[in-house]
Structure 1
Amino acid sequence: MPSLFSWLRRIYSLDTLDTRFTSTATTPGNAAADTRPAAAKDARANAIAQNARAPLWRTPEFFVYYLFFITLVPLMFKTVVDASKGESKQAGERPASQFEHMLTEDPQIDNSDAQYASFRDNVPYLLLLLIAHPLVRRAYNYFASGKNTATKSSNQSVVAAGNAQLKQRMRFDFAFGLIFITALHGISALKVVLILLINYRIGKYLPRSYVPAVTWTFNIAILFANELSGGYPLERIALFLAPGSGTSGDKGSSLVQWAQTLDSFGGIMPRWEVLFKVTVLRLISFNMDYYWSVDYLSSSPIEVCTPLVSSSGLPISRLDVELTEFHKKKQLDPSTLSDRDRVKIPAEPAAFSVRNYIAYVLYSPLYLAGPILTFNDYVSQQRYTPPSLTRTRTTLYGIRFFFTVLCMELILHYIYAVAISKASPDWSIFTPGQLSMLAFFNLHIIWLKLLIPWRFFRLWALLDGIDPPENMVRCMSNNYSVSGFWRGWHRSYNRWIVRYIYIPLGGSAGGARGPAGTKTASAPKSGFMSKFLQIRNVLLVFTFVALWHDINLRLLMWGWLITLFVLPEVIGGILFPARRWRSRPTAYRIITGIGSVGNVLMLMIANLVGFALGLDGLKDLLAGLTGSYSGIAYMISCCAVLFVGIQVMFEIREDEFRMGIDLKC
C-alpha cells in the first residue's frame, strides 16, 4: 500500500506535470530535470522553503475542515446527480424531459458540448496519429542518419551536432506539416499556406519599423475576416467574380460549379478557420521574435559567416564557433538552456527561414489546439532535446492523462449539467442546492473539456521530443485568486500574452517595455497612475483574449467582467498589505480567506457568462438561487463552505512553499 500511495503521489506531482513548476525560469535544463525537491536544487527555492510557516494539517481547526469535506463533497455529487436524473422540488415535474433529447442512448451520455464531442468522437484517429507520427519520425531519422554516417565524427562540437539535429527535424516537420494540413483541410490548405506566406513577407521584408504594427493589424484582421467570411469558400468567391451566374450553360455557372467541386474536397476538418486562431499566435510569435532578434543579435557576437574547416577536416561554419563563444561569454551550456533563455535568446538569423517558419507554424502535435510554443523556444528544443524529457516522466504523464479521461467519462455518464444548461430549462423547478451544483459542475466540465485535448496534444509533443508548457496548473476547484486563476488557466497562452502584449504595453509598471522587460519609455512615478495603467493593460489584454476566442458580445462581456473583478483583489492588496500582518498571520489568513470567497464567486459568475449560460441565463440562475429566503440562507452557507475550502487551498500552497515552489497562482 505505501508503494501504491507513493506511486500515485508521483503521478500527481508537479514534477510529472511540468518541470517548469518545480524550478525557476532561470534554472538550467539539466538542473530543472532533477527529480529532487526544488529546495535541494536552487538557492532561491531554498529561501522560499525557509520562509514557509509551520503546517496546519494536524491542528484542531483543520480537523473541523476535514469533517466538512467528508460530509459535503459526497453530498455535492448526489445533489447534481439527482438533478440530472430529473428529481425536482415540485411533485409531478420532470426536468429531465426538457433535455433528454440531447443525451446519447445506450448508455446515456451527455455529449452535447460540440467542442468536446468533436475531440471525443475523433479519439481513435488521434490515437493513431499519436503512435504513427513519432514512429515515422524515428524511421526518417534512421534512414537520414544512415546517409550521413560518413560525415559524423566524435570530434564534432556540441553546436555542430545541434545544428545537424535542427536541420533533420525541421525537414521532417516541414514535410509532415504540409501533408497533415492537406489531410485536415483539403483544398483549404492552400488558403492556410497563402496566409502564412503573406505574414512571413511582412516579418522579413517590410521596413523594420513597420513590422510590429503591420503584423498585429494583419493578424487581427485575419481573425475577423476568417470569422465573417466563413473560411473564404471558393463558391462565394466565384459568385463575386461572376455575378448573375445562375444561368445554366454560361461561363459564370461553370466557374461556380468548379468552385463547388473544389469546396467539396474539404478534408477531415473543413472548417479550418475555427482552428486557425491558435495558428495566428504562432504567426505573431515568429514575426516578433525575428523583430526583437535584430536588436539582441546586434549586441552579440553571433553572425552568419563563411564556412570553416575543423581540425578533423570536417566542414563547419563560423556560426558554430561564434555560437560557442557567445554561450561561453554568457556562461551558458547551449544544450541545457533554462526555460527563460530558450524563450529570450533568439535563434541565429539563418534559423528564421521560410522552411523553419512553416515547420514551426504547422508542427503537427501542437497545430490543432496548442499548447503554444514561441518560435525561439521551438528552435532551441529542435536543436537540443530538453533534459526534462525522460521515459519515466512521459509515461507517468500519459497515465495521468488516462485517469483524467476516465474522470470525464464518469462525469458525462452521470452528470448532465451541459445538456441542462443548453436546454434553457425552467430554473425554478430546481432546488437552490441543485442550481448551485449544476453551475459548479458545468464549470468543471468546461475545465475538463479544455484540459483533456491540451494534455493529449502535449503528450503527443513529449513523445516526439518537444516539451511545451503545461496549460493547466491546478484543478478548477483549487483557485481563490482572480489574477492567479488566469496565470494557471491556459498557461502557455498566458505566457504568450505576457511576452507579446502585456510587457510591451508596460506590464504592471506602466511604462512601455521590450520583450525582456527593458524600458522603452519612461514609467510613471505615481503609484496611482501605475495602478491605473496596470488596469488599462489588463483591460486591453482581456479584450484581445475575448475577441481571439470568438467575436461575440458574450465573450467581450466576459473579458470586461474579468477586468472588473480584478479590481477588488488589487484594492484589497493595497488596503491589507501582507507586510503589515506578519505578526498576526492567523488574522491575516482569515481576512484574506473572506476576501477570497468573493473572488471565487466572481470567477464563477464571469465564466458562466462567457462559456456556459450567457448573461440572460445567469440572471435566471441567480433569480432561482436568491429568489427566496431559503435560497439566500443556502448562499450564505455556501460562502461558509467556500471559506473552508479556501483555507485548505492556502495550506496546499504553503506545502508548495515548504518544497521551495512558488507558482504564483
Structure 2
Amino acid sequence: MASREGGSGPLGFLRSLYDLDTLDTRFTTPSSVPYRAVTAHDKREDDGGDRGATSGNSKRAEAPKWKTPEFYLYYLVFIVVVPYMFWVAYDVSRPTDPRYKKFENRLVKGWIPGRKIDVSDSQYYTFRINLPYMALLLIFHPLLRRVWNAVYPIPQALKNSRATAPEAAEARLRQRASYDSVFAVFFLVVLHGFSAVKILTILAINYRLVTTVPKRYIPVVTWTFNICILFANELSNGYKFREMALYLTGTKAETLGTYTPALVALGQWMDRRGGLIRRWEILFNITVLRLVSYNLDYYWSIDRRSASPVEKKQLDPANLSERDRIATPSQPHDFSFRNYLAYAIYAPLYLTGPIITFNDYISQQRYQPPTISTSRTIKYAIRFALVLLAMELVLHYDYVGAISKSRPDWSSYTPAQLSLLSYFNLHIIWLKLLLPWRFFRLWSLADGVDPPENMLRCVSDNYSTLSFWRGWHRSYYRWLLRYIYIPLGGSSFRTARDATRTVLTYLVVFTFVALWHDIKLNLLIWGWLIVVFFLPEIAATRLFPRRKWEGRPTAYRMLCCVGGVGNVLMMVSANLVGFAVGLDGLESIVRGIFRDYSGLVFLFTACSALFVGIQVMFEIRQTELRRGINLKC
C-alpha cells in the first residue's frame, strides 16, 4: 500500500511521479485506516515491487505475465497499432486533406512552429487562455492566507500548547474558516460581479430552510429546493437584472426603444458588470452538491449529538481515516453560516471541484491532514504540467475536435478514420476535464486541504462499465454514493424484486447525473444508456462466477477479455452520445463503419487490438494486487 520511490536518479524520480501515492494517497491507503498508521507500518520504502506480499489482496494476485511469450506478442501489437492510430488522426488533420478547409476556421496559430492548434472546444479554450491568471491566483491565495494569519493570529497560549489540543484545533478552524468566508465574497464579486448577490441569496435561502424546518422535513426540503434551483437557473438564464426590472415595472421589452424606465436601465447596467464569468449559472451546479452535502450532514448530525464517535472509539482527531472524517458528524456549532459560506464557496474548489463533503472540510480545517506533503504537492504539479503538455501536443497535431464540430460528411471517411476520430475525441474530452480538476486540486493541496482525485485511470485503461464509473469523476461518484445511492438502498440482486429495485435506483441516480450536467436530451439518453450497459456486465458476473473457473484461469481471463471488448464498445458509444457527437452523429458513424465489407474487416481488427489492450489492463491490475492495492476500478 505504500509509495514506490523507484530508486534514485532521474528515472527513479520519474517513476515516483507516476506512483499512485503521488496522485492520491487514497489509492494506496484503505479509507478505514489512518494515513499515519499506514506510514508507520510500511516505512514507505521500495521493496522491488513485492510490497504487500502478505496482504489479502496479494494472495489473490496471479503470477506476473509481463515476460511471457503471450505478452511479447502483445508488445508487438502495441508497437504497430498505437503509432498507426496516431497517424490516422494526424493524416485527416493535415492541410493536404480535401476536407481541411471545412474545419480550418476552428484552428489558430499554435506555439509549435508550423502548426496550428485546435481551439474548437470552448471549455478547454477558456481554461487555456485563463491559465496564467489562475496560476497567479494559486500563488496569491495561499500567500494572502499567511497575511491573514499574521493579522489574526492564533493566541500564543494555544500555539505553545500541543498542536492537536482541542482548543488549538478550534482556533485553527476559526482562523481558516474566517479567511475562507471573507475571500469567498471577494472571489464571487470578482468572478460574477453583481451576480454575486444572486448566489449569496440562494445560499442564504438554503441555509434558512435547513436550519428552521422540522428535522423530518430536511431531506425533502433539501432535494426539492436544490433540484428546483438547477432547473430555475437554467430556464431563467441566470435571472437577468434586466428581466427582473421589466417584470417589476410592468414594461414590455418591445417598448424599450422609445422609453426605458430607470429601474430597467439600472438592470441593464448591472448585467453588463457580471464579472469575469457572466454566466454564473453554468458553474453553480457544483455548488448545489455542496449545499446538499451541508444540509444532509447537518440532518444526520442531529441524532448523533449525545456522544462523540471520536471519543467513543478513542480515535486521534488529528489522524482520522478518511471514512471517519466523512462519517463523523461535525459539532453543532460547526454548522454556522460562516462555516457554511466558507465551505460552499471555498475558492480552490468552487469552479469545478473536486467535491469534498462538509464533514470532511471541517475536519481538515481543524487538523491539516497528514497526507499533505510539500514533496508530493510538487510532484503532483509536475504531473499536471506533463498532462497539459500532452493535451497541447494532441491539439497541435490531431484536429479531431474541430472536425467533429464542423458538421462533417461522415460518409467521406473510411471506417478506420471514423473509429479513430471518435476514439481521439473521447481522449480530448478526458483531458479537458482532467486538467481543470487537477489544477484546482493542486491549488487546494497548496492551501492545505486534500480533496479526492477525480480521475484515477486514463480513459484508455478501462474495460468495465461499473469500474469506469467509479474512476471517472471519482469525487462525484463518492458524493452520489453517500447522498443518493446508499439512502435509496444500494444494490442487491439476490431476488428479482431486489434486482428491479436496484435497476430503478440506478435509473434515479443517472437521471440526476444527466440533469445535473445539463438539461439536454442527449445527456438523458447518455445516463440511461449507462444503466442499460451496466446490465450485461452484472449478468455476466453472475452467469460466469470466478469460483467456477478456478481450475481454468487462462480460459476465464480470455472470456472476461471478450466481455471487456463489448464493454469498451458500449462505453465509447454512450460517451460519444453524451459529450461529443450526439445520437445522430453516432448513428452516422456506425452507418459509415458498416456500409461495406471493409468496415466489418476493420471492426474485427479493432476488436482484436482492444482484446490485446484489455489483456494489458488486466495485468496492470494484477501488478497492483501484488503490491497490496485493490482499486476496484
Other-structure match for 2:621: 653
Q: Distance in 2 between matches of 1:480 and 1:220?
A: 33
Does the 8 Å CA contact 1:173/1:359 hold for their aligned counterparts?
A: yes
Separation in 2 of the partners of 1:41 and 1:190?
56
Equivalent residues of 2:53, 2:627 under 8 A apart: no
**Residues 174 and 647 (structure 1 numbering): CA distance in 2 closer, same or farther, change over 3 Å?**
same
Distance 1:606 1:21, change over 3 A: same
- Whether 1:568 aligns to 2:568 is no
The residue correspondences of 1:439-588 to structure 2 (distance < 5 A) are: 439-509=422-492, 526-588=494-556
Which residue is 1:306 aligned to? none
Gapped runs of 5+ residues in structure 2? 1-6
Q: Does 1:22 align with 2:31?
A: no
Give 1:97's aligned residue. Answer: 101
CA, structure 1 residues 290+39, in 2 after alignment: closer, same or farther (shift >3 Å)?
Answer: farther
Q: CA deviation at 1:296?
A: 2.4
Match of 1:9 in 2: 15
Asked if residue 83 in structure 1 is aligned to residue 92 in structure 2, the reply is: yes
Which amino acid is the alignment partner of residue 573 of structure 1? Answer: T
The verdict on how the C-alpha distance between 1:41 and 1:169 changes in structure 2, with shifts beyond 3 A counting, is farther
Partner residue of 1:231?
238
Would the aligned equivalents of 2:50 and 2:626 in 1 still touch at CA under 8 Å? no
Return the alpha-carbon distance in structure 2 between the equivalents of residues 538 and 39 of structure 1.
42
3-state SS, counterpart of residue 372 of structure 2: coil
**Secondary structure in structure 1 of the residue aligned to 2:82:** helix
* Cα offsets for 1:609-649 (capped at 9, x unmatched): 00000011111111111111001100011001100000000
CA distance in 2, matches of 1:251, 1:44: 80
1:99 counterpart SS class: helix
Residue equivalent to 1:614: 582
Q: Which residue of 2 aligns with 1:319?
A: none
- Normalising by structure 2, report the TM-score: 0.94
Are residue 282 (structure 1) and residue 286 (structure 2) matched? no
TM-superposed CA distance for 1:154, in Å, is 3.0
Distance in 2, matches of 1:574 and 1:509, equals: 12
1:265 to 235, 251, 273: 273
Q: Aligned equivalents of 1:420 and 1:248: distance in 2? A: 42
> Does the Cα contact within 8 Å between 1:38 and 1:45 map onto a contact in 2?
no
CA 1:531–1:453: 2 relative to 1, 3 Å: same
Distance, in Å, in 2 between the alignment partners of 1:599 and 1:104 is 37
Distance (whole Å) between structure 2 residues aligned to residue 283 and residue 579 of structure 1 = 44
Shift of 1:202: 1.6
Deviation at 1:142, TM superposition (A): 2.6
Shift of 1:150: 5.2
C-alpha separation between the residues in 2 aligned to 1:446 and 1:37?
35
Give me the whole-angstrom Cα distance separating, in 2, the residues matched to 1:292 and 1:154: 33
C-alpha contact (below 8 Å) 2:52/2:626 kept by paired residues: no
Larger mean Cα displacement after TM superposition, 111-120 or 373-382: 111-120
1:61 aligns with 2:70: yes
Matched, 1:191 2:198: yes
Give the equivalent residue in structure 1 for 2:388: 405
1:523 is aligned to none
Aligned equivalents of 1:245 and 1:480: distance in 2?
A: 56
| C-alpha contact 1:22 1:38 (8 A) present in aligned 2 | no
Partner of 1:291: 299
Tell whether the 8 Å contact from 1:39 to 1:49 is kept in structure 2 after alignment. no
1:4 shift after superposition = 2.2
Return closer, same or farther for 1:637/1:441 CA change in 2, 3 Å cut-off: same
Q: After TM superposition, give the deviation of residue 240 of structure 1 in Å.
A: 1.2
Long gaps (5+) in structure 1: 89-93, 303-325, 511-525
After superposition, what is the alpha-carbon deviation per residue over 1:208-234, rounded to whole angstroms, capped at 9, x for unaligned?
111101110100000000000000001
Amino acid at match of 1:375: F
- What's the CA shift for 1:422? 0.4
For normalisation by structure 1, the TM-score amounts to: 0.90
Aligned to 1:176: 183
Question: Residue deviations 1:271-300, cap 9 Å, x none?
Answer: 0000000000000000000000112224x2
Counterpart CA distance in 2 for 1:342 and 1:161 is: 18
2:152 paired residue among 144, 149, 154: 144
Equivalence for 1:347: 330
CA distance in 1, matches of 2:81, 2:74: 10
Q: Could you tell me how far 1:180 is from its partner in structure 2?
A: 0.3
Deviations 1:69-96 (A, max 9, x none): 11111111111100111566xxxxx111
Once residues 218 and 640 of structure 1 are traced to their aligned partners in structure 2, the CA distance between those partners, rounded to angstroms, is: 50
Tell me how far apart the structure 2 counterparts of residues 410 and 225 of structure 1 sit (CA, whole Å).
Answer: 40
The SS at the match of 1:504 is coil
Instruction: Choose the corresponding residue for 2:417, options 411, 428, 434.
Output: 434
- 1:210-229 aligned within 5 A: 210-229=217-236
Letter in 1 for 2:234: E
Alpha-carbon separation, structure 2, partners of 1:45 and 1:426: 57
User: Mean alpha-carbon deviation: is it higher for 647-656 or for 79-88?
Assistant: 79-88
The C-alpha deviation readout for 1:393-426, integer Å capped at 9, x for no partner, is 1011000000000000000100111110000111
Change (3 A) 1:345 1:618: same
Equivalent position of 1:208 in the other structure: 215
